[in-house]
Structure 1
Amino acid sequence: MEIEQLQAAWSQMSNELEQQKKLTDKIIMEMTQQRYSNKFRTISFYETIGAAICFLNAIYILVNFFKLDTWYLITCGIFTLAFLIVMPILVLRSLKKVRNLNILNRTYKETLVSYTKEKKVLLKIQQFGTYSSFILMFTTAAVFSKLFNNKDFFLVDRNIWYYGGIGLAVTFIFFFTKWGYKSYKNITDSAEEILKELDD
């Protein structure tokens, strides 16, 4: 009888330990999910503000598009509009996919495969944005020169200071986009490290 009671007590204790382990594992997974999502909170906030600014500029250009009266200014306007509308949407959508990756209902391997895929897409979009921002600098200057001052950017007289300003602007954009891409790389690498902790 004592052996049966001992076995019953042992069985009950094993069940309780198993339940506690499952609960602990669930809590760890939920905390990991929260830590992972938080990695993208700040950058999502800034990208949302950036998107709002882009959309407001796009609306302004659209309302005044009729002022772009040559084929090359119209081309600049179309490129600028496309960039200001499409790029923020692509970035925000990609960020949302990465940030909302559900790690609770997937295996470690499935999570890592999904993350790697979404990370590549996000970084590719950032690379495209980096390269195209140099073109955008000139198309935006051409569009707003016409809309604000009614001057054709490509026909105005330029002096050495003007070219110096362009050189400074290109240098600034080069370092700013490089810093931005590096920030994305650091955040995505850091998030990946959190996911890899699940395999420990």
Structure 2
Amino acid sequence: MEIEELQAAWSQMSNELEQQKKLTNDIILDMTKQKYQNKFVLVTKYETLGALVCFIISFLVVLNFNKLDTWYLQICGVLTLSFLIILPLMVLKTLKRIKNIDISKGSYKENLSLFLKTKNRLLKLQQIGIGFGFIGLLFIVPVTSKIMSNKDVFLISFKKEQYIVFTITLVIFAFFCKWAYSGYQKITQSAQELIKDLE
């Protein structure tokens, strides 16, 4: 073989290796992108189902709003509707935004910055949801009681058993919130690690 033939063969092998490397990188990037998006599929389904339940309850509150016959029950009704509509919409919008970050486009720094900003917003919304969930019991329970049994909880005295049930409900709610929030932290941390692996 002459030197020209060796150089041509070497150049061709080099080009083929470069193309193979680019193809491998593209495959890895596509797989990572798919893994990233899959991190948010299940939580999006749960949040969508939860939002649907909230919207159905909101619709029932609107249909029965006339049963809230005092100014303070009407305020509780408006607060209940706000809580059941606004927060789920904000969470779904933020989940969509974080899930649709295209990690195959843009620089590593831009993607990580956008992810961290959206992640922090998502976790902050979860914290707000937990806080309002506890506070919400103060205005959701009166609305539910009035609509379901026509009883104004502000005008009746509670029995010991009702206090016990309310306390147990708060404890269960606290454990559920802690479990759900730690789940969000794990999912977002895992997605962040995938982005960092692309550096």
User: Shared fold (TM-score greater than 0.5)?
Assistant: yes
Aligned residue type for 1:180: A
- Structure 1 residue 54 corresponds to structure 2 residue 54: yes
Task: Give how far 1:138 is off.
Answer: 2.3
Q: Which residue of 2 aligns with 1:153?
A: 153
Q: Which residue of 1 aligns with 2:103?
A: 103
Q: Which residue of 2 aligns with 1:2?
A: 2
Aligned residues: 199
Unaligned ranges ≥5, structure 1: none
Q: Which residue of 1 aligns with 2:168?
A: 168
Task: Give how far 1:139 is off.
Answer: 1.4
- Structure 1 residue 189 corresponds to structure 2 residue 171: no
Mapping of 1:84-99 within 5 angstroms? 84-99=84-99
Aligned residue type for 1:83: F
Aligned residue type for 1:55: F
Residue by residue over 1:102-121, the C-alpha shift from the partner in whole angstroms, topping out at 9 and shown as x without a partner, is 01112211111111111000
Q: Partners of 1:43 and 1:94 in 2: how far apart?
A: 12
Task: Give how far 1:49 is off.
Answer: 0.5
Aligned residue type for 1:73: L
Secondary structure (helix, strand or coil) at the match of 1:103 reads coil
Task: Give how far 1:71 is off.
Answer: 1.1
Aligned residue type for 1:51: A
Aligned residue type for 2:71: W
Unaligned ranges ≥5, structure 2: none
Q: Which residue of 1 aligns with 2:15?
A: 15
Q: Which residue of 2 aligns with 1:44?
A: 44
Aligned-pair RMSD on alpha carbons? 1.1
Q: Partners of 2:5 and 2:186 in 1: how far apart?
A: 57
Mapping of 1:24-43 within 5 angstroms? 24-43=24-43
Q: Partners of 1:111 and 1:126 in 2: how far apart?
A: 22
- Structure 1 residue 141 corresponds to structure 2 residue 141: yes
Secondary structure (helix, strand or coil) at the match of 2:198 reads helix
Q: Which residue of 2 aligns with 1:74?
A: 74
Q: Which residue of 2 aligns with 1:65?
A: 65
Aligned residue type for 1:193: E
Aligned residue type for 2:118: E
Q: Which residue of 1 aligns with 2:118?
A: 118
Q: Which residue of 2 aligns with 1:177?
A: 177
TM superposition score normalised by structure 2? 0.97
Residue by residue over 1:66-115, the C-alpha shift from the partner in whole angstroms, topping out at 9 and shown as x without a partner, is 11111111111011100110111111111111111101112211111111
Aligned residue type for 2:22: K
TM superposition score normalised by structure 1? 0.96
Which aligned runs of 4 or more in structure 1 are off by greater than 4 angstroms?
A: none
Identical residues among aligned pairs (%)? 49
Q: Partners of 1:170 and 1:72 in 2: how far apart?
A: 23
